[in-house]
Amino acid sequence: MSQSRIAAVDVGNDSVKAIFGELDQEFNIPNITARDIEDRPVIGIEELDQKDPLEGIHIRVHSPALQENNAIYRVGHLASKSTNSTELDPGSGKSQEDQTLIMLFASIALDAAKANKTGSNNVIDANYTLGTGLPLREVKEGKDAGYRSKLLGSVHQVEFLVTPKYQGIKVNIKFDEVKVYPEGFAAYINLVMDHDLKIINKDLIDKRILIQDIGGLSTDIAVIKNRTVDDDKAQGFNLGVSESLENIREEIFSNHGVEVDSRRDVVEIITRNNDRNHIMVKGSRTSVHDITDRILMELAKKQYRLLRNVWQKNSQTEICYFVGGGSNVLKEYIKTLNNNLDGFNIEFFEDDKESIWMMANAYYKLLSEFTKKTEKLKEEKKTVKKS
């Protein structure tokens, strides 16, 4: 595939949200990996092609960008069933972790395998224009430049091993361009523009606003005025929901003897519509409300303190939007605190999907604008040459 395809990939701490092409493909894959020493055994090999590839991502990844090259991984749902699965640790930097790259390459390889016919040698050469993001803290530390250069100028190969439909396919990924955006700014773009880059929120465009993006490992608070992010006042904090979700997992195990597979499953227990904050213990429906309420309220207080401190320094702020998967988990607790305390003008997205997909959508919009401008410049150069 010679023409460059758009890939907007948000490697969130809970899951990877990725949008491709002309909005013709999207994936949501749990951000969990597990190292494999050898090819995994397959039960019912003849049924492999009947299954969803997302349920059985099993790959070997070869890339000079990785610290551990040429290793085999189970990814996403398949990894969550492994005893040695890993999720990103609190305190780790997204730009420094192999896991971030493995998830990025896996999602792109899945798109390439679905969007292309393989040649006789089962190899796909795939070119992409990538839009992705890093927490504000890492961008302010200048980590975005190193992350971008790791991706550009090299070929990254993903080989599908025992993966439904794609077993034996190798995808060579090359990036024609990589744009790394600060996550808070991306959220703002998504609030004010639609996919055709038309302004959809005129009320918001000239307001002074904060965007508090609560992730798994970090929280960004973007300060926006005059339609741009104030880089000096915007702040990134090393505080996310992962540690609290891990604590809930551990307490459920120690109090009830029930092992919850992953943080993502904890989120499911906390946020689902039916039987929220309940688990099954030996076949009986059991409340874990006491555990979740105590731990999440403690975290909500810390998040509220961050909001209060940033708002004090930006006293003319008109509204704060809470975005990201962590906001989804803490929504009711932060609302309760705000009602009882300062009464700031804050807003959450009631549509969980909108909040969760916000970053990927923003990267897509920013990338679309970039590619349109690039094409326009190319056309103008051609016209100048002809004349």
What string of DSSP letters covers 77-116? HHHHTSTT-B-PPTT--GGG-HHHHHHHHHHHHHHHHHHS
Is 187 contained in some domain? no
- Residue 372: the pLDDT is 85
Say if strands 57-62 and 71-75 run parallel, antiparallel, or are unpaired. antiparallel
The predicted model gives 52-81 an average pLDDT of: 93
pLDDT above 90 as % of the chain: 53
Total number of domains in the chain: 2
- pTM confidence score: 0.86
- One domain for residues 128 and 246: no
Domain encompassing residue 77: 5-181
- Residue 42: the pLDDT is 54
Is 125 contained in some domain? yes
pLDDT single digits (tens) 327-378: 889 999 999 999 999 999 999 876 667 778 888 999 999 898 888 888 888 8
- Residue 36: the pLDDT is 85
pLDDT single digits (tens) 91-137: 677 888 999 999 999 999 999 999 987 766 899 999 999 999 988 88
- One domain for residues 118 and 214: no
- One domain for residues 150 and 234: no
The predicted model gives 194-221 an average pLDDT of: 84
pLDDT at 46 over 50: no
Task: Give me the residues paired with residue 11 across strands.
Answer: 16
The predicted model gives 27-51 an average pLDDT of: 72
- One domain for residues 228 and 337: yes
> What's the chain's average pLDDT?
88
pLDDT at 45 over 60: no
- One domain for residues 239 and 171: no
pLDDT at 181 over 50: yes
- One domain for residues 177 and 258: no
Rounded CA separation 264/325 (Å): 10
Rounded CA separation 1/295 (Å): 49
- One domain for residues 127 and 224: no
Q: What band does 47 get if pLDDT is binned at 50, 70 and 90?
A: low
Rounded CA separation 153/151 (Å): 7
DSSP state of 252: H
